[in-house]
Structure 1
């Protein structure tokens, strides 16, 4: 059985940044409209002690940059498939056919004469996949992340030194694994495998701007966070305040940690041999 291999294009790894479209003042106005909802539905519906505009005050705010991954990969498979072709026979009186010196008996299936011709098919199959995955391991729909890429302009960063960058909890190798496992789940009906190569075409880390406003409810001693998307202006009333930020300068070498030992996904039908691995610079 032919060994499978993984190839990573040298230009696959990129770090890209979206600049905010929605300004800070407009984002704060949006947050103020939703601040009473930052403590949950039970607090809002409590008739005895509910948050009020004069008891909920802004304590701090920040512009942070949240990561997500865009991985594009393909699988090219060169294989042989054994098949039997059923060929109709037009002459109702034929008993056998001589094709190239090989004799095939004429068979009858539901009164339709035919021959069965064994063949070896030499096949090439390409399987493509694209993954959009939140870098903080949250349940964010891939269509939401794809819309950012399709609609807004991001600038590639050779090195990124900016306050508020969140450290991805999902590593580059883990993001690549998602794409690789999808490709590996595609069944290949092969009698013999000749070559099975996976190519990672894109391993892009995007940073998108998010405004976070922390409010304190003085009457109950509670803290709530309202988030405003810096690209769309969409509001998340029950937001989060991430304390773990990246310190120092971010480069592709720092964030893209994929390597031979990091890829453990096995494509069915063979083991993995990393054909081309570099530091993606």
Structure 2
């Protein structure tokens, strides 16, 4: 059976620290009036006798969650494989390690059986919004300053948290599908999946509703509290002040993990030892590079 393990540092909660606090975020908003209400509106005001100001009518800090998940699969196994190589027409037999192999009549090749000792490793990392499922631009936040949370309730002291739509079990299924592969094996030595990273991050965002005092026009803008980026939005994203427990988000206990594995590969304990036929690969450079990578990974494994 495939063994799924979670690393010691998984299932942690992190919050990114503000680079742009409330006062600085509000300053950015007021400095970008033309961007918020449009350049044409700004030009009209330049020639108008009425000089209205920009008023913040509502504001809120919220935390948007995203997942950081990493996984690695390791497969070590042995398989019986038939090999052959061409010989010159005059050759009727070849002795290898004291054993002679005869050439079949009319077929100038030597055929022999061998046992392959194989080692394969695959790694995958996912950084994905827990709300929309989007991945673009989130890798940057992993390098930002952060602090560890004991409970997500700490966030509700100064803001609201956007509800999570993509839970841990969904992310686990995505990463396992990418790193779990069937192999053609006669003897399985090791088949292991290690979830090396499984953390939930909360990204701070300031939301402002602003109004021009002269035109009474209103707009909603967001300021990324980490980058200071201003974005115009059409609707106010609502967050929650009452939090569910951590276990609700990290719904990846032993029972769920076992069910997940069965859904990905039914009869997983059997399927992994009978699934993949050998394919001819003609790209020697690619095979050489792959072999070098495998040998390096196997050497590291033996040192541990």
Q: Could you state the TM-score of these two structures normalised by the residue count of structure 1? A: 0.74
Residue 226 of structure 1 aligns with which residue?
Answer: 221
Q: Distance in 2 between matches of 1:272 and 1:115?
A: 36
More strand by share: 1
Larger helix fraction of residues: 2
5+ residue gaps, structure 1: 274-281
Aligned residues: 255
Residue 268 of structure 2 is matched in structure 1 by 271
Say yes or no: does 1:259 pair with 2:253.
Answer: yes
* Per-residue deviation, residues 36-87 of structure 1 (Å, max 9, x unmatched): 655899x98xx9xxxx984974321122111110001111123334433344
Between the aligned partners of 1:154 and 1:269, the Cα distance in structure 2 is: 40
Q: Does residue 119 of structure 2 align to residue 124 of structure 1?
A: yes
Residues 223-266 of structure 1 show CA distances to partners (whole Å, capped at 9, x for unaligned) of 54211111111122226522231415x76445322123434254
Alignment partner, residue 18 of structure 2: 20
State the match for 2:300 in structure 1. none
Match of 2:169 among 163, 170, 173: 173
Mapped to 2, the partners of 1:54 and 1:27 lie a distance apart of 21
Give the structure, 1 or 2, with the largest relative contact order (CA under 8 Å, sep 6 or more).
1
Q: How far apart are the structure 2 equivalents of 1:55 and 1:245?
A: 32
Alignment map for 1:134-153 (pairs within 5 Å): 134-141=129-136, 144-150=137-143, 152-153=144-145
1:171-206 per-position Cα deviation (integer Å, ceiling 9, x unaligned)? 12122222112223xx44414462432211211011
Question: Following the alignment from structure 1 to structure 2, what is the Cα–Cα distance between the partners of residues 108 and 29?
Answer: 87
| Change over 3 Å in CA distance of 1:126–1:222 after alignment to 2 | farther
What is the CA distance between 1:118 and its match in structure 2?
2.5
Corresponding residue SS for 1:29: helix
Cross-structure match for 1:277: none
TM-score (norm 2): 0.69
Q: Decide whether aligned partners of structure 1 residues 133 and 75 sit closer, same or farther in structure 2, where only a CA change above 3 A counts.
A: same
Do structure 1's residue 97 and structure 2's residue 85 form an aligned pair? Answer: no
Match of 1:29 among 27, 45, 63: 27
1:220/1:28 CA distance change after superposition, 3 Å: same
